[in-house]
Homo-oligomer: A and B are copies of this chain.
Amino acid sequence: MAEKIQIGIVGYGNLGRGVAAAVERTPDMELTAVFTRRNPAELSGPDGVAVRHVSEADAYRDRIDVMILCGGSATDLPEQGPRFARLFNTVDSFDTHAKIPEYFEQVDAAAKAAGRVAVISTGWDPGLFSLNRLIMEAVLPDGKEYTFWGKGVSQGHSDAIRRLEGVKNAVQYTIPVEEAIERIRAGETPELSTREKHIRECFVVPHEGADLARIERDIVTMPHYFADYHTIVHFIDEEELRAKHSAMPHGGFVIRSGVTGRGTRQIVEFSLKLGSNPEFTASVLTAYARAAHRLHKEGATGAKTVFDIAPSYLSLRSPEELRKELL
């Protein structure tokens, strides 16, 4: 095997740890260093891997082939995406939908100026779900597409509950309405309201003596987050929350129901059932790091998305082997 692809990780939260674990299972890659904004001495990184302050990253310019950016989309990536694309090939999971065009432009300019490749907005949604939406639409132009998420924890919704008065902690699950999915799988193409697609189930730890009825009302009437959904609220204690609701499962479905010929029904579905959302997202980022490295070696530059990358770039296997074994 050729020299291993040297990987760097920026940000060592759940996603960063997932990338470290994914690289370990990947025979053609090696983790060179983890970069953090915290005090590196206080961070326990993966065994035998250097942990450095993010300000030291520039010195690794010639030693890291691809930097995987594991920060959040709200504040980390808008700054880190363009900054690191000026020095490294990068991969990130930027997922603020409305800002993707603007983010693409900034990262693209930085990566082009530096002669680097930056794969943005990958993971599963955006990422593998987006890829499937594109393929399904191209194959079945006359059709209707549905995306369902869950069952899984939504951080944004959990945070919104935690900000309420009287709430100590909370976890919110987004749950797809099974009945709606079954209708689509059976060949119907219903117009579904927000309420008909997902349920929101909340596990809330109240402060002692808090007004539970008021908390519940505040949740179920909260605009944007809960008001348009069937929302279920359970009050539990901190111990139960830790014991039963600290895993990070997720998943979802992209389904396209289309017609061909004289009205023949054709249904395509892509689904995920994930034991850990951050570990799976990290696994996708890691596969796209291989693509970024190869594209760079071929002389490509600029920002890329899942739409722009031929699948073979993701695989360890040679084109001959792919045709023989997987086609």
Q: Which of A63-71, A77-85, A283-291 contacts B (4 or more CB under 8 A)?
A: A283-291
| Interface pair A260/B272, CB less than 8 Å apart | no
Given A139-B287, A273-B185, does the pair A312, B316 have CB atoms closer than 8 Å?
A: no
| Interface pair B266/A275, CB less than 8 Å apart | yes
Residue from B132, B134, B139 in contact with A312 in the complex, judged by beta carbons closer than 8 Å = B134
Q: For A27, A121, A310, which residue has the most chain B Cβ atoms within 10 angstroms? A: A310
Q: For A271, A274, A282, A311, which residue has the most chain B Cβ atoms within 10 angstroms? A: A311
A54 to B130, CA, bound (A): 40
A284 to B140, CA, bound (A): 8
Tell me, yes or no, whether A242 is within 8 Å of chain B by CB: no
| Interface pair B283/A139, CB less than 8 Å apart | yes
Tell me, yes or no, whether A97 is within 8 Å of chain B by CB: yes
Tell me, yes or no, whether A100 is within 8 Å of chain B by CB: yes
Given contacts A130-B327, A264-B275, 9 further A-B contacts (CB under 8 A): A21-B261, A21-B262, A128-B135, A131-B311, A135-B287, A268-B271, A270-B270, A307-B312, A307-B319
| Interface pair A22/B260, CB less than 8 Å apart | yes
Given A135-B311, A269-B271, does the pair A101, B260 have CB atoms closer than 8 Å?
A: no
Instruction: Give the contacts of A50-97 with B (CB-CB under 8 A).
Output: 97
Tell me, yes or no, whether A265 is within 8 Å of chain B by CB: yes
Tell me, yes or no, whether A12 is within 8 Å of chain B by CB: no
The 4 residue pairs across chains A and B that have the minimum distance between CB atoms: A138-B314, A264-B275, A260-B279, A307-B312
| Interface pair B287/A138, CB less than 8 Å apart | yes
| Interface pair A101/B320, CB less than 8 Å apart | yes
Q: Name the B residues within 8 Å of A138 (CB-CB).
A: 287, 290, 311, 314-316
| Interface pair A260/B326, CB less than 8 Å apart | no
Q: Name the B residues within 8 Å of A261 (CB-CB).
A: 18, 21, 276, 279
| Closest chain B CB from A139 CB (angstroms) | 5
Q: Name the B residues within 8 Å of A100 (CB-CB).
A: 323-324, 327
Question: Residues 286-308 of chain A: 1 if any B CB is under 8 Å from the residue's CB, otherwise 0?
Answer: 01001000000000000001111
| Interface pair B271/A266, CB less than 8 Å apart | no
| Interface pair B275/A268, CB less than 8 Å apart | no
Q: Closest residue of chain B to A94, judged by CB? A: B327
Q: Closest residue of chain B to A130, judged by CB? A: B327
Residue from B137, B284, B290, B327 in contact with A326 in the complex, judged by beta carbons closer than 8 Å = B137
| Interface pair B274/A316, CB less than 8 Å apart | no
A279 to B142, CA, bound (A): 13
Tell me, yes or no, whether A160 is within 8 Å of chain B by CB: no
Residue from B26, B97, B130, B274 in contact with A266 in the complex, judged by beta carbons closer than 8 Å = B274
Tell me, yes or no, whether A156 is within 8 Å of chain B by CB: no
Q: Closest residue of chain B to A17, judged by CB? A: B261
| Interface pair A260/B135, CB less than 8 Å apart | no
